[in-house]
């Protein structure tokens, strides 16, 4: 967790330093501005997985089916040029899952908070429609999986996971300072383990590689 926070702190410091230096050049009077803020929400899908449930030194393989979920977040960005921008943001994601254990189907949830820093390149900087692509680094302060086995309500969690994301999106500028935004992205983390927050049990070999589609509203200033 400490290393993950240090990595993201360095990314944030770089973002703030570069925007401060570049921001010394004021935008033209008719420009909508180089900074922007973008609240958004959307849908998330993650793949099914097989994980190991470890209790009292014994492990059991458990299939987990994951359905679609929802996501919401907010980001802040800076346009260095008409085509190149940097964006820092926070996002919450939640999926419903079905855990198969001893011929029982148990419903639970799989949720995470994560922060990210991305760079984007606008493919066309003229007209109202502006498609772009990008990539960046992500850090999960916390991810958890909650479900019940027998009479035990279990909450498993992990912290400090570092991953990457690739994205593609489209801005539609409908006013001088306002734009609608559609964005699709893929986020990937290495497999990781989770510890039970109140017992000695654990989950191992979890995957988290969501596909996400968001719709947002961008304000430029």
Tens digits of residue pLDDT in 78-124: 999 999 999 999 999 999 999 887 777 888 899 999 999 999 999 98
pLDDT over 50 at 217, yes or no: yes
Cα separation of 100 and 199, whole Å?
21
Share of the chain above pLDDT 70, in %: 84
pLDDT over 60 at 140, yes or no: yes
- pLDDT tens readout for residues 147-187: 876 666 778 999 989 999 999 999 999 999 999 999 999 99
Share of the chain above pLDDT 90, in %: 60
Predicted pLDDT of residue 149: 64
For the chain, what is the mean pLDDT? 85
**Which carries the bigger pLDDT value, residue 81 or residue 28?**
81
pLDDT over 60 at 1, yes or no: no
> What's the CATH code of the domain at 63?
2.40.160.20
Six-digit token string for 72: 């919401």
Cα separation of 148 and 162, whole Å?
28
Domain that holds residue 66: 2-220
pLDDT over 50 at 65, yes or no: yes
Provide the domain count of the chain: 1
Predicted pLDDT of residue 56: 83
Predicted pLDDT of residue 106: 85
- Strands 35-45 and 211-220, bridge-based pairing: antiparallel
Predicted pLDDT of residue 99: 86
């Amino acid at each position: 967790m400490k290393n993950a926070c240090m990595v993201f702190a360095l990314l944030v410091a770089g973002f703030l330093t570069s925007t401060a230096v570049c921001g010394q050049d004021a935008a033209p009077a008719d420009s909508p501005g180089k900074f922007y803020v973008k609240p958004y929400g959307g849908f998330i899908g993650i793949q099914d997985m097989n994980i190991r449930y470890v209790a009292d030194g014994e492990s059991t393989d458990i299939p987990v089916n994951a359905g679609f979920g929802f996501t919401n977040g907010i980001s802040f960005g800076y346009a260095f040029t008409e085509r190149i921008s940097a964006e820092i943001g926070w996002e919450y994601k939640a999926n419903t899952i079905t855990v198969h254990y001893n011929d029982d189907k148990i419903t639970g949830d799989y949720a995470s908070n994560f922060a990210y820093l991305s760079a984007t390149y606008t493919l066309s900087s003229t007209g109202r429609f502006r498609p772009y692509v990008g990539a960046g680094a992500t850090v999960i302060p916390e991810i958890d999986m909650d479900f019940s086995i027998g009479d035990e309500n279990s909450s498993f969690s992990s912290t400090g996971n570092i991953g990457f994301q690739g994205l593609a999106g489209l801005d539609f500028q409908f006013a001088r300072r306002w734009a609608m935004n559609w964005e699709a992205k893929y986020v990937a983390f290495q497999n990781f383990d989770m510890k039970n927050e109140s017992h000695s049990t654990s989950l191992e070999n979890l995957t988290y590689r969501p596909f996400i589609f968001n719709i947002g509203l961008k304000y430029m200033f």
